[in-house]
Amino acid sequence: MTVAQKKERAETTIREMGLRDAADTRIGGWVSKGISGGQKRRVSICMEILTRPKLLFLDEPTSGLDSAASYHVMSRIASLAQREGITVLTAIHQPSSEVFDLFHSLCLLSSGNTVYFGPANMTNEEIEDDHGDNEEGKTTASAAKATEILVKSYSSSTTCKEVTQRIAFINEKGSGELIKRRSQASFLTQSLVLIRRSFANMYRDLGYYWLRFAIYIALCLCVGTIYYDIGHDYGSIQARGSMLMFVAAFLTFMAIGGFPSFVEDMKIFGRERLNGHYGVVTFVIGNTVSSIPDLALISIVPGAIAYYLVGLQKSFQHFAYFALVLFVCMMLVESLMMMVASIVPDFLMGIITGAGIQGVMMLNGGFFRLPRDLPKPIWRYPMYYIAFHKYANQGFYKNEFLGLTFPNTQAGGPPTISGEEILRDIWQVEMGYSKWVDLAILFGMVIIYRILFLVIIKFAEKMKPKVKVFFSRLNRRATRVIDPPPAASLL
């Protein structure tokens, strides 16, 4: 199917579901105008119909709607199902006569028992015959007794025998011969579609994209004016280190602001993953690539404001390295928050968890406590080497101090102090490798974080059913314990 055909098909579905007037309305987000409950229900149904499923399950699609809205929704579904050749299975309670007439087949249940299963237009005739032929079916009979009569009557009816034979035939043939598997798009197509959709969602999200971009500009203006034209005296050594630490720690910390969008992405992924639209690897690739333009824009524009206002090394190579480290650090924080979102879907708990993890990493980054002064158990080994702030700070310091010379105002010392001496003696930076190794380690950590994100999703998919079963068993046991025993006879 061509792109034009897909677009035409989508427009037809929107029109037939009565959503034309709401076609340009954004659902959710900060600028949402809102739509009615019936429209929301129709939107969710449209999303599934557009995938052209052979079988569509709808659980109470008319719940919370009045009779007119219920009929409108169900009539649209019926017409679309007929046009697309979709079999729709719907659970519905107390339908109006107009909605009831839309169904072709009907299964009536009472207390878990089948009362009737067959053509909808035969329901009244079958039930009235079974109910009227028995004296116990009179209005004086209890509801339980009437249900028992109907269940027994259905189990001995011709309709029940036909259904049983049909089920046996399906079991013999196997579902593979009866239902042809729908072909899926290629891995590349899935990835490109997800990248485009994810980027569009980010671009349209005022809080995730534009507000964050504005805040980064404001913060970098603050940094640039506070450390404006920092100079090359001895006091500028500490000021440069503080400024670079702020960029590596607190500017990247702001990336947690995208957590609400990550939670929504995980919800959408969970639904679409259950429908078999795409795999975990495709989702991770789409999510990773789509965030690159936003992070690159933040790294270059606000980064340039802070960098050149402060008066750091002027060459383009030095600024490019500065922007690259800032970009990779923000991607690391987003990767970390995606892992948190896959484990802790609650907004407040996720923000607290992500902020706590980053706070621990900041303490081990080599600024608040110099590397040699860190307690060796745990904090120096292994936490100092796990925290990405270590490599960000070292990369920033090497990029800025190497090649510079500062006057030495300390008594008894040489008249000048080189950038290499500052790195080695003041900031205690590891000088056995270049700044590009620090950048490569940061890129490697991004890959590791994304792989961990993928593994967590895979693991969660396997463990969630087991966890649900475990807690359901606990609830049943707790119910049996809480329920009081039957009262003993006093006689």
Q: Which of 120-129, 340-349, 461-470 shows the highest mean pLDDT?
A: 340-349
| pTM for this prediction | 0.69
**pLDDT tens per residue across span 194-219:** 888 888 877 777 777 788 889 999 99
- Domains in the chain (CATH in brackets) are 3-177 (3.40.50.300), 187-463 (no CATH)
In the chain, what percentage of residues exceed pLDDT 70? 84
In whole angstroms, give the CA distance from residue 164 to residue 158. 10
pLDDT score of 137: 43
**pLDDT tens per residue across span 23-45:** 666 665 444 456 776 677 777 77
Kindly report the length of the chain.
491
Nearest CA to 209 among 296, 332, 286, 284? 296
CA 90 to chain centre: 28
With vertex at residue 331, the alpha carbon angle to CA 215 and CA 271, rounded to the nearest 5 degrees, is: 100
Reported confidence tier of residue 140, pLDDT bands at 50, 70, 90: very low
In whole angstroms, give the CA distance from residue 313 to residue 320. 11
Nearest CA to 163 among 100, 110, 130, 116? 116
